[in-house]
Structure 1
């Protein structure tokens, strides 16, 4: 998401960073580029004007132009203004009431309300420890209630039994009564999709809101609708008191105009962003992290959170033990690729890592995409467990068999093996360092203040080691073998 906007802003700020001193004309020229970039990203014109005026006023100040790094100061100002535009602080669901709390989902037809209802319910159940029930109030769309029931089964969330012939208001009343009797913490009401010009359906939505008295009314908007999303939000906010917005299909929106406009126009926070079709494809919307992604600063916090969600503790412990022993075979590489896929693939990881231009550029040129991981996994799956455990067994004939079995070439198999050799060499180095750290017995690897840390100049692991943080925590890039695999074939 935000790929095109990020590229345009990055190009504008690269010119500023390369200058030792800035004039007011330099700053205003950069702000013109920012204005064009935001307009091309489909951000609403009033929002663009307000943003650029505020950023320019601060950026042409004497403190910026006379600072040691004026280019960086301008980037920081734009970052801070982006955070303010997106809502400053992240906003959680307000469910601290006497149960059951009611969450009402509203939006246009086809915006993704039903799937989003299931995603939010699953999130509340698994992360919040809530007992959640979903109820479909959509009596207009064929099989809409059955769809929610199927999603409820997939998410392991209870759904209100279907009673044919009831009106949405009657279903809402039954859902609330049932939730109270059965001790549910949260009720999610999935209302029917409607057109914002259909006043009859709008009146129905208001009637449900009057009966249910929801604690949260979330507007579900498709991010791909661009500026029309702002019109949708404005019309719905005039009908019911919205408390937040959920943007769906954010992973398919390279421009991001809807996200940047929504908060400024409606005054309501963006609470969640849909990032995929699966039920775990939902992220809390953190304005500061999103601003960092837009400006190419990465989002390491979200990356760590996603890793914690997808990687099992026992698996991480086993891998740590193998690393400490300096071991790393093709089975380990295969498990790493599976974890990368769960964490969003190359595109998802590249968006969160600061300064990883190699992968981003390769993906932009069509030389690499998430299909690369699929091909790599196919190659590894075509090997026997014994071959993955002992890569030295892969002689010429076996490589030919693996290539045919995976639908790839022997050259690609060789690239995988070379990448494994480099990673295995890195693990051996890390295993040796771990033993030295154990001998010193204090800080360990990169422990910050330990004897080994002091021995290595306080910088933790060697700064040139592939794929590991260097000075200041800046990533040094992917292992050379992985870079070679990403090159055009």
Structure 2
């Protein structure tokens, strides 16, 4: 996400950083480059103009012209204004003191609204421990109710549906009564969409809003439609006054124009982002972290949160003990590998680490299939071989290669690399710095 914009902004700011002092002309040139980068990213023209004017005024007024090493201050100003552009503080759902909290989902057909409904249900169960019900009020799109029943069931939400023959307003009202009887903490109402904003769609939304009196109205917009998404958000805002945005398909949006424009144009924050096809690839939108990632500063907090979801304190303590005692086996390595893979695509994870964003990742090929091969090799070993890889010789290597569908050379390579890794761990455990040059020579 934001790949093209991130690359150009980082290149511009790298040039600014590289100058010993800055003149007014240097700042004006940098602002021109930033303006072009934002326009090419499909950011709203008025938003771009206001953003660059604000950054230029702050840079001129910050007494950095002519000063030594002013580049970092320019980067800081750009980061702060990017963060403000996307909403500043992270937002969240407003919960009612008297359950159920009602969330009304709106959006055009094809925006990913039904999938976002299931993802939000899963998120609320996981993050807040909420018991969630979902109302199937999209009675016009073919198979919409069936889709919601399927994805709702996958995330463990109770789906309230009455088919497609009843009025959606009546279904919403009935679902709310059922959610109250069932003691649900949250009811999410999935409404109908259209291929474009029309009077009938808005009237139906208003009627459902009157019937269930939602505590939150969330608009789902497709990030990949760029400024069309912003225009849709503006029209919905005028009609139903939504509270926040769920940005769907953000992982597929290399430009980022919608995410950077929607708050400034509508005044409504992005609350959540859908970052993949899987139902757990859904997260709270953090403007500060997103600004860091765009500028190549990484996103360490999100990385730590993702790691924390997979690694608990006891596992971490046990792993530390094994590393210190050089008792780390291929079985442990396989367990760690599986946990890392659950955190998401490797390229996405690397983008969260400072120094591995934007230009640094350009051209880098992270082959997820290589991890499949490593898993297959280890799973083809006996338990004793995983614990004592030094046993893997001759016929054992041939058997493992055949069992995992790889070559004997690939088995040899994994065993050799694991032996080198254990050697490094042993030295670190004794408080010594490993001889990396020697280890690299051995790995050739």
TM-score, length-scaled by structure 2? 0.92
User: 8 Å contact 1:326–1:430 — kept in the other structure?
Assistant: no
Aligned residues: 440
Matched, 1:380 2:378: yes
Distance, in Å, in 1 between the alignment partners of 2:113 and 2:350 is 29
Distance, in Å, in 2 between the alignment partners of 1:269 and 1:25 is 35
1:306 partner SS:
helix
User: 8 Å contact 1:196–1:202 — kept in the other structure?
Assistant: no
Q: CA deviation at 1:400?
A: 4.3
Output one character per residue of 1:141-192: Cα deviation in whole Å (capped at 9) or x when no partner: 2222222222222111212143552110000110111122222221100011
Q: Which residue of 2 aligns with 1:471?
A: none
Distance, in Å, in 1 between the alignment partners of 2:412 and 2:20 is 46
Q: Which residue of 2 aligns with 1:200?
A: 200
Task: Give unpaired runs (5+ residues) of structure 2.
Answer: none
Q: CA deviation at 1:195?
A: 2.7
Distance, in Å, in 2 between the alignment partners of 1:418 and 1:17 is 42
Matched, 1:233 2:233: yes
2:142 partner SS:
coil
Of stretches 295-304 and 348-357 in structure 1, the one that deviates more from structure 2 is: 348-357
Q: Which residue of 2 aligns with 1:268?
A: 268
1:352 partner SS:
coil
User: 8 Å contact 2:23–2:66 — kept in the other structure?
Assistant: no
2:202 partner SS:
helix
Matched, 1:154 2:154: yes
Matched, 1:71 2:65: no
Of stretches 249-258 and 64-73 in structure 1, the one that deviates more from structure 2 is: 64-73
User: 8 Å contact 1:379–1:406 — kept in the other structure?
Assistant: yes
Output one character per residue of 1:279-316: Cα deviation in whole Å (capped at 9) or x when no partner: 21111001001100111111111111111112244433
TM-score, length-scaled by structure 1? 0.84
Matched, 1:364 2:373: no
Pick closer, same or farther for the CA change 1:408–1:67 going to 2, 3 Å.
farther
User: 8 Å contact 2:347–2:366 — kept in the other structure?
Assistant: no
Q: CA deviation at 1:20?
A: 1.4
Matched, 1:287 2:276: no
Q: 1:416 aligns with which of 414, 417, 433?
A: 414
Output one character per residue of 1:410-454: Cα deviation in whole Å (capped at 9) or x when no partner: 444344334323332232234334xxxxxxxxxxxxxxxxxxxxx
Q: Which residue of 2 aligns with 1:437?
A: none
Matched, 1:393 2:365: no
Q: Which residue of 1 aligns with 2:184?
A: 184
| Bigger relative contact order (CA 8 A; separation at least 6) | 2
Distance, in Å, in 2 between the alignment partners of 1:95 and 1:273 is 19
Output one character per residue of 1:460-486: Cα deviation in whole Å (capped at 9) or x when no partner: x97x999xxxxxxxxxxxxx98xx99x
Q: Which residue of 2 aligns with 1:93?
A: 93
Q: CA deviation at 1:351?
A: 1.3
Q: CA deviation at 1:395?
A: 2.4
Pick closer, same or farther for the CA change 1:411–1:261 going to 2, 3 Å.
farther
User: 8 Å contact 2:145–2:163 — kept in the other structure?
Assistant: no
Distance, in Å, in 2 between the alignment partners of 1:377 and 1:131 is 36
Q: Which residue of 2 aligns with 1:444?
A: none
Of stretches 228-237 and 62-71 in structure 1, the one that deviates more from structure 2 is: 62-71
User: 8 Å contact 1:133–1:179 — kept in the other structure?
Assistant: yes
Distance, in Å, in 2 between the alignment partners of 1:89 and 1:328 is 42
Pick closer, same or farther for the CA change 1:145–1:322 going to 2, 3 Å.
same
Q: CA deviation at 1:329?
A: 2.0
Pick closer, same or farther for the CA change 1:465–1:135 going to 2, 3 Å.
farther
Structure 1 residues 51-130: aligned runs within 5 Å:
51-61=51-61, 63-130=63-130
Q: Which residue of 2 aligns with 1:22?
A: 22
Output one character per residue of 1:70-113: Cα deviation in whole Å (capped at 9) or x when no partner: 11111111000000101010001111332221101111111111
Q: CA deviation at 1:356?
A: 2.6
2:255 partner SS:
coil
Of stretches 243-252 and 173-182 in structure 1, the one that deviates more from structure 2 is: 173-182
Distance, in Å, in 2 between the alignment partners of 1:300 and 1:381 is 32
User: 8 Å contact 1:347–1:369 — kept in the other structure?
Assistant: no
Q: CA deviation at 1:274?
A: 0.5
The root-mean-square deviation of aligned C-alpha atoms, in Å, is 2.4
Task: Give unpaired runs (5+ residues) of structure 1.
Answer: 434-460, 467-479
Q: Which residue of 2 aligns with 1:34?
A: 34
Q: CA deviation at 1:355?
A: 0.8
Distance, in Å, in 2 between the alignment partners of 1:379 and 1:250 is 35
